[in-house]
Amino acid sequence: MVYIVDFKKDHELADRIGLQEILHYSNIKYFRPMLEKRGMVVQVEDCRSQVDSIYQFVDYLGYPCLFISFSNPNRSYSEVNCPKIFISSIVKYPINHPSGLIRLITKNWLKKGIEQSLAGISFNKAMIEIIAQQTKKEIPLTFIPPPVWDTYQVLYNLDFLDKLGSNSISTNGHIIDTFLPGWRPNSIAYKLPLKRRILLIGQTLWRLNLRATINNLFQKKSVHYYPIKLDLKGIVYASILSPSKPFRNWRRLIKEFRMTFRDKEDVTLVIKMAGRIKRNTKRSAFRILKSKSFKCRIIIIQDHLPQDQYENLVRSTSYLINISNTQEIGTSQLEFMSAGKPAISPQYQEMTMLNPENTFIVPTDDNRKFSIKEQLQQSYETIINTPNRYRMMSQNAMRCMESYCSQAVVQPRFSEFLDEIETKLH
């Protein structure tokens, strides 16, 4: 069996900050080892121009071939004639909180992509029924979490509390750091070469992205920041989120964190923002942080972190904060908890793996807004006053993820599902 996957390298992803596709590629590295155990994996960078030519060649040789897309079944996916399946969460906006019910935005190209698929895999069990409602054609659908545990359990450190502040991360992207003079590293602006502008315009035109094309047409300068090393000391809280999503209230997170730890110099919040960061989002962040009446440190990163730097962030983190009001549990939460990082998170229907032994559960009600101030305070006091309890929560988080998203658990389910699909190719 030959598997074709769309893939982007770290340095290529860095140039695609703000594009939706960057949110999907991170899962490829977890599924690829399982695919390689079953057959040959061929990676492509442009599915429109490469997939079908590979498929025709492989078919000529007499081998079955399957295109596996780790992004939503979009227009490019629909134009591929090779037999195909998608592995994607396809999560959109929630209808209400706290149930986390999800409303999928209906688009003709999305329906067309689903209907052309042999099958689909979602990371979120609640999405299976919703995806099925988008098409009149019945296709096999299943829920399989990304097998992240094997990659991140090696970062688990039983002596973590004895080495607080021993890690750092490096970035040359857009950041806000309340401990930096001016809150940002020094920047340099240079004239964007004409060839580079033409290339960017051509790429956005190819993707039919009119807004990006117009931006590139008038962009004459490029701003870059000098590399900076962020030493993360003390108790570190991390949150990975997309500020453009209405179900992730990052402003409330900052305000409540600042109120809870306004007198604590040994506490840091790192917000890693994914997706496109709008200008008003940056202005809003500055407004919220402009008060110097708090001693805690708050860092906002809008940059693609290479794998080694992302792992350093995981190593440095004491707790992972989830402020989403959807049922989906994000890949980042699975990654951090696999490394033994307890969470602060609501517990919705789909989050059965969360319990008081590994998570400070945030209670929810009919109000869309919920507070995490009490859980922040409890988590801080746990490390300070009862470190053994933190160690137990850390170990329980790691072991719980082993039984939920390790390769040993996911591989049989993934293989069984692919076996069913591949019988249709012969």
pLDDT tens digits, 270-316: 999 876 566 666 677 777 777 667 899 999 887 778 888 999 999 99
Average pLDDT over residues 244-254: 73
Burial tier of 242 (Cβ tally within 10 Å: 0-12, 13-18, 19+):
middle
**pLDDT attached to residue 98:** 40
Tens of pLDDT along 33-45? 999 999 999 988 8
**Token pair for 408:** 């040993």
Q: What is the structure's pLDDT at 100?
A: 46
Q: Give pLDDT, residue 48.
A: 82
DSSP one-letter code for 294: -
Give yes or no: residues 396 and 254 share one domain. yes
- Averaged pLDDT for residues 42-65: 91
The residue to which tokens 């607080």 are assigned:
164
Tell whether 281 and 392 lie within a shared domain. yes
Tell me, yes or no, whether 250 and 396 share the same domain.
yes
Q: Are 159 and 80 in the same domain? A: no
Task: Give the pLDDT mean for 337-345.
Answer: 97
Does residue 233 sit in helix, strand or coil?
coil
174, 299 in Cβ contact below 8 A? no
Contact, 101 vs 94, CB < 8 A?
Answer: yes
Last residue of a domain, one of 225, 241, 275: 225
pLDDT of residue 301: 86
pLDDT of residue 146: 93
DSSP structural state of residue 318: S
Q: Can you give the pLDDT at residue 216?
A: 54
pLDDT at 94: 44
Domain count, the chain: 3
Helix, coil or strand: residue 278: coil
Using alpha carbons, select from 252, 282, 281 the residue that is nearest to residue 269: 252
Looking at the structure, tell me whether residues 94 and 154 fall in a common domain. Answer: no
Q: Report residue 134's pLDDT band, with 50, 70 and 90 as the boundaries.
A: confident
Q: Are residues 112 and 28 in the same domain?
A: yes
User: How many degrees, rounded to 5, is the angle at CA 154 between CA 148 and CA 155?
Assistant: 95
Query: Hey, how many other C-beta atoms are within 10 angstroms of the C-beta on 390?
Result: 20
Q: Kindly state the DSSP code that residue 137 receives in the 8-state scheme.
A: S
Q: Which domain holds residue 138?
A: 2-145+407-422
Cα–Cα distance for residue pair 377/369, rounded to 1 Å: 18
Least confident of 148-152, 189-193, 235-239: 189-193
Upstream peptide bond of 243 is cis (omega within 30 degrees of 0): no
Rg for the chain (alpha carbons), in Å? 22
- In terms of domains, do 129 and 215 share one? no
pLDDT for 203? 64
CA 164 to chain centre: 25
Same domain, 41 and 138: yes
Instruction: For residues 65 and 168, state if they share a domain.
Output: no
Assess whether pLDDT exceeds 90 at residue 16.
Answer: no
Average pLDDT for 12-21? 52
In sequence order, the β-bridge partners of residue 134 are none
Contact 331, 405 (CB under 8 A): no
Domain boundary among 173, 203, 225: 225
In the predicted model, is pLDDT for residue 61 greater than 70?
yes
Give the range among 2-16, 230-244, 255-269, 317-331 with minimum mean pLDDT: 2-16
Output the CA–CA distances (angstroms, integers) from residue 329 to 15, 235, 412, in the order listed: 27, 24, 22
Annotate 246-256 with b (16+ C-beta within 10 A) or e (fewer). Answer: ebbbbeebbeb
Specify which residues 229 forms β-bridges with.
Answer: 170
Predicted local confidence at residue 422, as pLDDT: 92
| Distance in angstroms (rounded) separating the CA atoms of residues 244 and 69 | 24
Which CATH number belongs to the domain containing residue 81 in this structure? 3.40.50
Mean predicted confidence (pLDDT) in 103-110: 60
Quick one: pLDDT at residue 96? Answer: 41
Residue 237 and residue 200 share a domain: no
CA distance 354 to 397: 8
| CA separation for the pair 377, 301 (Å, rounded) | 24
Q: What does the pLDDT read at residue 99?
A: 43
The contacts of residue 142 (CB under 8 Å, 6+ apart) are 119, 120, 121, 122, 128, 413, 417
Query: What pLDDT, on a 0 to 100 scale, did the predictor assign at position 77?
Result: 76
Element (H, E) at 382: helix 373-385
In the numeric block, the tokens 């997309």 are attached to 242
166 with 127, same domain: the answer is no
Q: Clarify whether residues 163 and 218 are in a common domain.
A: no
Is a pLDDT exceeding 50 seen at residue 364?
A: yes
How large is the average pLDDT for residues 361-381? Answer: 86
Mean pLDDT score across all residues of the chain: 81
Residue 272's φ and ψ, nearest 5 degrees, are -95, 110
Helix (H, G, I), strand (E, B) or coil at 10: helix
Question: Is the confidence at residue 15, as pLDDT, over 60?
Answer: no
| 8-state DSSP, 192 | P
**Residue 208 pLDDT more than 70?**
no
Would you place residue 93 in the very low, low, confident or very high pLDDT band (cuts 50, 70, 90)?
very low
Task: Please tell me the predicted confidence (pLDDT) of residue 207.
Answer: 56
CB 393 within 8 A of CB 318: no
Please compute the mean of the pLDDT values over residues 5-9 and round it to a whole number: 73
pLDDT at 352: 85
Q: Mean pLDDT throughout 240-261?
A: 81
* Reported pTM: 0.85
Specify the DSSP element, H or E, that contains 24.
helix 22-25
The residues, any chain, with a CB within 8 Å of residue 69's CB and separated by 6 or more, are 5, 6, 47, 77, 84, 85, 86, 87, 88
